[in-house]
Amino acid sequence: MSRLTGRTALVTGGSRGIGRGIAERLAREGALVAVHGRDPEAAGRTAKEIERDGGRAFAVAAELGVPGDAEALWAAFDAGLAGYEGGHGLDILVNNAGIGQPGRIHEVDEAAYDRVFAVNARAPFFVVRHGLDRLRDGGRIVNVSSGVTRVAFPEAVAYAMTKGALNTLTLTLAQELGPRGITVNAVLPGIVATDINPWLADPSARARASSYSVFDRVAEPADVADVVAFLASDDARWVTGQNLDASGGSNLGV
């Protein structure tokens, strides 16, 4: 596969889980992938494993959800990219980094609310804002949202609100950046088997989670990564401003 040869991608939260699956998939398509992570060692391991598999990648370490996070991320990106021939500019930005926040409205305090919004909503906003001068015309922005934005999900109300904000950002940016030929779309996963969902190790819990999908299973990171790779490619040149459900048909009958 070489649909993305000659292009540079940045995947936030790319060192683990869904983000790692996305980084690996884009690299297999030929992209040079900047693997972002809060933990430099984890991001570095993922980048090295991508290179061992024949891809090209480098690590970008920065904490999101704190003052100056976007500027720090882009400074690390610029430094890493400078080591590559012709190293400047970006073609694909995947805003994947995020944290969970369980709890019904009476269970979420102000600190937890502010934290989840800082990471899941504010950070991608300013990552885009400070990255626009690096993003080439004809580029791609893919925001990793959540299927909880299309159903009522009281058990994680603050988290769901952050992803709703990301969907609105997607729609607005699609119109804003259309004149530059940049597409902006969101992918809405359901339950994915990653270390962020350790409760899936319980057979009864996994069975219940699997029942949400019409395919009677939970997703693997590759199920989401393949959708992102499509949106990042020229095949999706006429798709923008969309919130693309990638939940395996979860809760279709609800």
What is the residue-level pLDDT of the chain in tens, covering all 254 positions?
689 999 999 999 999 999 999 999 999 999 999 999 999 999 999 999 999 999 999 999 999 999 999 999 999 999 999 988 767 899 999 999 999 999 999 999 999 999 999 999 999 999 999 999 999 999 999 999 999 999 998 999 999 999 999 999 999 999 999 999 999 999 999 989 887 788 888 898 899 889 889 998 888 999 999 999 999 999 999 999 999 999 999 988 76
Q: What is the tens place of the pLDDT at every residue in 190-246?
A: 989 887 788 888 898 899 889 889 998 888 999 999 999 999 999 999 999 999 999
Q: What pLDDT shows up at residue 169? A: 98
Q: How many other CB atoms are there within 10 angstroms of residue 75's CB atom?
A: 14
For the chain, the structural domain boundaries read: 8-244
Task: Please report the pLDDT score of residue 14 as a whole number.
Answer: 97
Instruction: Report the predicted TM-score, pTM, of the whole model to 2 decimal places.
Output: 0.95
Distance CA 147, CA 223 (A): 14
Indicate which residues carry an active-site annotation: 159
Q: What is the fold of 8-244? A: Rossmann fold (3.40.50)
Looking at residue 254, what is its pLDDT?
A: 62
Asked if 10 and 93 touch (Cβ cutoff 8 Å), the reply is yes
